[in-house]
Structures are given as structure tokens and as C-alpha cells.
A and B are shown apart, each in its own frame.
Chain A
Amino acid sequence: MALLEVEDLSVSFARRGQRTVRAVDGVSFTVDTGEVVGLVGESGCGKSVTSLAIMGLLPKQPGLTVGGKAVFDGTDLLQLDDRSRRDIRGRDIAMIFQDPLSSLNPVIPIGLQVTEVLTRHRGMKGDAAAKEAAQLLDRVGIPDPKRRLKEYPHQLSGGMRQRALIAMAVACQPRLLIADEPTTALDVTIQAQILELLKDLVRDSGTALVMITHDLGVVAGMCDTINVLYGGRVVETARRRPLFREPRHPYTVGLLGSVPRLDAGRGERLTPIPGSVRDLLPWAEGCAFAPRCTRRVDACVGQPPELVSAHDGRSYRCVNPAPPAGATPAAAPVDPAAPVDPAASVDPAASGEATSAGGQVPAPREEEKP
């Protein structure tokens, strides 16, 4: 059985005098023990709201409705009262946020913030807690942990703060870790450090990880299963390799075509998705992506597309999916503002080849040098 099973989760914000905003609309996904699951999407796709809803961390305000189920190890997290939810939070499920500085209390030393977690959930006190805290900091790669315990968040660099936050998150050996854009605020070289750390933690402890990010590169390196979100819905779910090799939903195809790749050459035109996320306004019914979609057909308007399950556990919400391997998803551009160059469209098979070529960059030999 899955460790976390999110079923038909929906979150809507109703405001007086304004249209109800459905931030999350029928999101379902599962996380198995020890699995790394990615929630990918651009800003406003509902990925962060999903995680906050599962954790019960959405700000309580009138007009907020959370529906569906989020079953963690047999208990529905959405039905829990605050108290038992707090018990689970930190002990069984922990969360890492994007901005480490605002997630740490600026006036309390790091050490105290870590020992607080240990005291609250593991009943450790005094020297034992301090010792454990130092060990935790050491484990996440913070040098000279004993001294760092006495320091305040602002005395640490961004990378170190994120490490401290991860130390707090893993303090109770949670079974599920939710990381919301954990590396977005960091530089690439620091991002690489943090991602390696997360990978190590997952591998060593068997913790399941839900990775929320907009960066397809991060997902490609880390996740076992990937859920692509758009407009509050999961539009495609697949294992990592099939998703990148053979994306079916036009949004996934478009997203992959939009990312400039380090291993691509100069001047290769990207294939952007025309329009912007704002274009979803008149599409309360129907596929949220339809206004920007190059494969739009009649059936896209009217009602939300059904979830289509394909082989090897992948599924997508699209009535006119991109054909599997070998075909080029070409159609007329929707927005003249951003012309689509059909010749440069992403060809899944071709990009697969480019990939393997990219993986084996010819090693420069000595004789090439002057």
C-alpha cells in the first residue's frame, strides 16, 4: 500500500465579490515508501497549495474549502484535528521550504531550533538533545556543528541555512519529506550540494520524498515518478524515463521544448508554449491548457478531459495527446505573438538521440590543444 495517497484533492478560495478561485482541482497521486515523487509545474499551477493542503498549513480564512482525501499510512490527514495533525507534522511528515531565511526564526540560535524539534517529538532534553542536534548538523554537512549550534540564522550562508532546515526536517526520521522548491533560492553549485544531500538522505533512510519544483532538470535527476501540474490539475503522471523520453500531454511536450539545454548548441531555436498562464480565465470548464495548446480540438472545450491510463502506470488528461515516439507534434500556432517554428518542434525521438550524444561529449584530447 502506498505511504501517501492523495485522492481528488481540491482547494478553492472564495472571496466576496470575486469569482471563486480553484487553486487545486481534483489532484490525485500516490507516494510509496522510499519513493521520490515530483510535482512539476510553473507558478500558479497549484503545486505549493497542494503540499500546504496536505500538511494542513493553509492559512485559515473564510472562503477556503479543501475537499478530497490525503491518506497517510491509513489516516486521512484532512480529517485530523489540529492537535493530532501537529503530532504527525514533524514526526512522520516534515517539510522543507524554498526560503530558508524566512523559515527559520531569526532571533533563536540554530541549535535551539533543532533541539526544540527533538524535545517536542522525541522527548530528548539537555545534553542528549544538544548532542543529537550536533550529529544532525554534521549529517547534513554543516562544518564544525558544535559551534554552529550557537549561531543565528543570519550568520549562516543560504546553503548552510537550507542544510540547517533539512536537519530540522529529518530530526525525527520522518517517513515522508515534502520539499517545496528547496533549491530555487540557491546558486547552481550550492543547489547541486543540496540535491546530493537530499538524495543521500533518501537513499540512506528510506524516507519518501515529494519534490515540488519548476525545474525539469532537478526532476530528471531525482524523481522516480513525476506528476506534471497545470491549472490546478495533474495533467500527466509517469515514471521518470518514459516521461522525458515520450511525453504525451501537449503541456509536458511544450515544457520540455521550452527549456534551453546545456548540451544543445547555439542557435537551436526553442519551442515555446504560446500565451501565458493567465490565458486560463474563460476556461472554467474544459482543459485549462486548451487556450495555449497547439493540439486543441473541439472536445477540449466543455468538460475537463478524463484521465487516460496508459501502459506502465502512466496517465494523462488529454483528449488529443501527442503521439508516442517518432511523431512531431505540429499544429498551427495559437498566438501570433509567439510564433511556433514547426521545424524546431521537439521530437521526442530526436531529443533522445541528442541526449545520448550529449551524454558522451567527446573527451578533449591532448592533441586538440595548441
Chain B
Amino acid sequence: MTDSDILVEVRDLKVHFPIKRGVLFDRTVGHVKAVDGVDLRIARGKTYGLVGESGCGKSTLGRALLQLNPPTAGQVSFDGVELTTLAPNKLRAMRKRMQMIFQDPMSSLDPRQNIESILTEGLQTHGIGGSREERRKIISETLDKVGLPRWALSRYPHEFSGGQRQRIGIARALVLGPELIVADEPVSALDVSIQAQVVNLLDELQDSLGLTYLVIAHDLAVVRHISDTVGVMYLGALVEEAPGDRLYTEPLHPYTRALMSAVPVPDPDVEDRRERILLAGDLPSPANPPAGCRFHTRCPWAQPTRCADERPVLREIGESRVACHFAERIASGELRPHKVSVEIVRPAGEGEEPDTVSAPSEPGSFV
């Protein structure tokens, strides 16, 4: 990848939220380290998928990238322009090149404005389209792109179904002709049959407009479907980043493995044959993350050395980048998961075929 292919580059981005106590005088008693040192690069015209469970900081990262949450430290450069130090009015002008799609299509649309004023707002702000007619034309074209009828213009958000509202949200992002779209859980609030419509729409728009996406989602299947590169986040940091297919066939980080094995697949044969890597316990608090590798408290492969006291950095292994000290040794099967902290469950089949489960340490066998 040459530098001109990179649209967005994030370097060591940190977003810490202070925890405040006190009635009259706020006293900072600690920080929630929502994002704690993330490096990533998004190639022009490609889709970067960001997955992780709730509380891993993926949404905060997306917002910090767009400067909607001020980052605590680090740099974000968009097409060569450093955003973190940009003057407010210049940043506002930049915004038409990078847009956002939100999770909840209802709460992300102003309920008291009709679709026309929702879509016009951005145009007015950036002085695009001189007259009302010209703006109308741009808006109508955008409505066609997202598959909404013209009569939607005089309607209000509450008169649409969830899928249509999400289309309105996408239209609002598209109307300014952006290059980058950050989609924060774009389909998780929608019904299954509608999800597919929106996912396909995003795909089509990318093909026809050459958009660059950062798709943030908890649903690994959605992210894998839509992304060229997938980054997995755990407690504010990337633990693994790889091309979508590779991440799926050859996850290197123990957390990625666990995540992959936990996603239900709508296919009984797959479900019966797969083995689950069940993680023990819950996500630690991001206000007080574990020292060393953040995952070592739940990691089935955690080792007595290094894991608890040395924070792993992203290392390149093949096409992947992994933050694990022992990734190679785990992949080769040299290291075996602990029996104590993790339980590997082999669900019984329906009796139609015998249990053929490969040994737990054999890589690539978790689906």
C-alpha cells in the first residue's frame, strides 16, 4: 500500500474520559480508558470493519476519528490533513468529506423536522447548491440512490419503518458527497430481513460511488460480510487486524478465536460440529484494565511469563497484525489452552452423525 492509497491514518489514538466526583468542585478520581492507543490505516475505497463487544471502545474510536469526541492524545490524518490540530472552522469544512451513519435510525433523526429539511441542513451548512431548486435536485438524486420515493420529502421520521429511516440516515450522509463514511452499528437496530437490505445498499453505494467505509459493529458476520480488513478490539485496543478472509480462516489472537467460535451460524451442521471456546467471566472495567496483556485474565492460553506484565504490541505475522506474545506458538498448537479457566463444550448432535470434533488445540477448527 502506498501512502496515496491511504485515506485515513490513526496513530496511537487515546480517548480517556475522566470519572468525576464531588458536588461543588469536580474532582477527577480516575479515567475510563475507552480507547487506549490504537493505530490503524484505512485504504481508499475499501471497508475497514471494527468488531468488539460492548464497552470495548469501538464506537468511541469511530467518533474520535471524526473528531466528534476530542481525542486525549494521538493523531488522525485524513487524506494527509491532520484533524486533531485543525482549527474549528476548517474542521467544519472538512466534515463534508467524512460522514457518519448511526445505529438507531430513530434517535439520529430530528423528530420535528421533515425529511427535506433533514437532508438540506448539510447542503446549507456547506453552501452546496445555490437555490432551493438546485438543492431539491441533489436531494432527489440522493433519495434515488438509497431507494426512497420522492414523496418521502414532506414526511417526518416517525412515519417511516426502521429500514426506511436507516435509508434516510444514509441519504443524509451521502448528500454531501463524502469520501469516508463511518457507520456505527448500521444494522443492529433492524430486523433480520431489513438488515440484508441495508447491507446490500451499503455495498452497492461503495461500488458506484467509490466510498471508503469504517464499519463498526458487534456482529462479526455482518462485519465479515462487508469488510476488506477487520480489526478486533478488546478493552480499548486492537488485538488483531487482518484481511477478512484470513481473520476468519486463521485467527491468531486468542480473543479472536473465542469471538469467532461464539458467533452462532444459521446452519445445524456447522453448529453441531463446531467447538466453542467459552471465555470465563466478563469484560474487566475499562477504568481499571488489567496490567500487561488486557486479555490475560480471561485468556485460555495465558502464560505465566510476559502475559501479566508486558503489554503486547501489534506485530505483523503474515498479512495479520496481532497483539499477542505467543501467537505463533498458539497457532502451531505448541501451547494448549488451560483446562481450569476455560471449558470446551462439545454439544451433542441430533443423533444423525457422530461427534467429530477436532482436538481443541488444533487451529482453524472452531467453526
Contact = CB atoms under 8 A, between A and B. Distances in A.
Do A and B interact with each other, yes or no? yes
Interface of A: 42-43, 143, 157-160, 187-193, 195-196, 199-200, 203, 214-221, 224, 240-241, 244, 254-274, 276-278, 292, 336-338, 351, 355-356, 358-359, 361-364, 366, 368-370
Nearest to A279: B161
Contacts of A273: 193, 196-197
21 contacts: A187-B283, A188-B218, A188-B259, A189-B262, A189-B278, A192-B261, A192-B262, A199-B345, A216-B192, A240-B268, A241-B350, A260-B196, A266-B224, A273-B197, A276-B161, A276-B191, A277-B161, A338-B197, A358-B267, A364-B250, A369-B318
Interface string B249-290: 110000000111111111111111110101101110000000
A333 to B, nearest CB: 11
Nearest to A257: B196
A271 B197 CA distance: 8
B203 to A, nearest CB: 7
Contact of A260 (B191, B224, B331): B224
Contacts of B248: 262-263, 361
Nearest to A187: B53
B258 A369 contact: no
Contacts of A276: 161-164, 191, 193-194
A183 B193 CA distance: 20
A221 B200 contact: no
B276 A188 contact: no
Given A260-B224, A276-B163, A338-B147, A361 B196 contact: no
Interface in B145-191: 147-149, 161-164, 167, 191
B225 A215 contact: no
A337 B348 contact: no
Interface residues of B, number: 75
Interface in B270-320: 270-274, 276, 278-279, 281-283, 317-318
A214 B266 CA distance: 11
B282 to A, nearest CB: 4
Contacts of A221: 264-265, 268, 271-272, 347
Question: Considering the complex of A and B, which 8 residue pairs feature the smallest CB-CB distances, nearest first?
Answer: A217-B264, A272-B196, A258-B196, A221-B271, A216-B266, A192-B262, A260-B225, A187-B53
Contact of B147 (A187, A214, A336, A361): A336
A196 B276 contact: yes
B191 A277 contact: yes
Contacts of A362: 249, 364
B193 A337 contact: no
Contacts of A363: 358, 362-365
B39 interface: no
Contacts of A43: 191
A366 B364 CA distance: 12
Nearest to B194: A276
A276 B218 CA distance: 24
B256 to A, nearest CB: 11
Nearest to B281: A143
Given A192-B261, A221-B347, A273-B197, 9 more contacts: A199-B347, A224-B350, A262-B367, A268-B225, A276-B163, A337-B148, A355-B270, A356-B269, A364-B250
Contacts of B281: 143
B228 interface: yes
Contacts of A254: 193
A192 B191 CA distance: 21
A266 B227 contact: yes
Given A188-B218, A189-B259, A272 B200 contact: yes
Interface in B340-363: 345, 347-348, 350, 352, 358, 362-363
B278 A192 contact: yes
Contacts of B245: 265-266
B239 interface: no
Contact of B192 (A241, A259, A266, A292): A259
Given A266-B225, A359-B273, A188 B262 contact: yes
Contact of B161 (A203, A216, A278): A278
Contacts of B331: 364, 366, 369
Contacts of B282: 157-160, 190
Given A196-B276, A277-B161, A370-B317, A359 B193 contact: no
Contacts of B268: 220-221, 240-241, 244
B258 to A, nearest CB: 6
A217 B147 contact: no
Contacts of A157: 282-283
B244 interface: yes
B118 interface: no
Contacts of A278: 161
B220 interface: yes
Nearest to A278: B161
Contacts of A271: 196
B222 interface: yes
B195 interface: yes
Contacts of B69: none
Contact of A193 (B266, B274, B278): B278
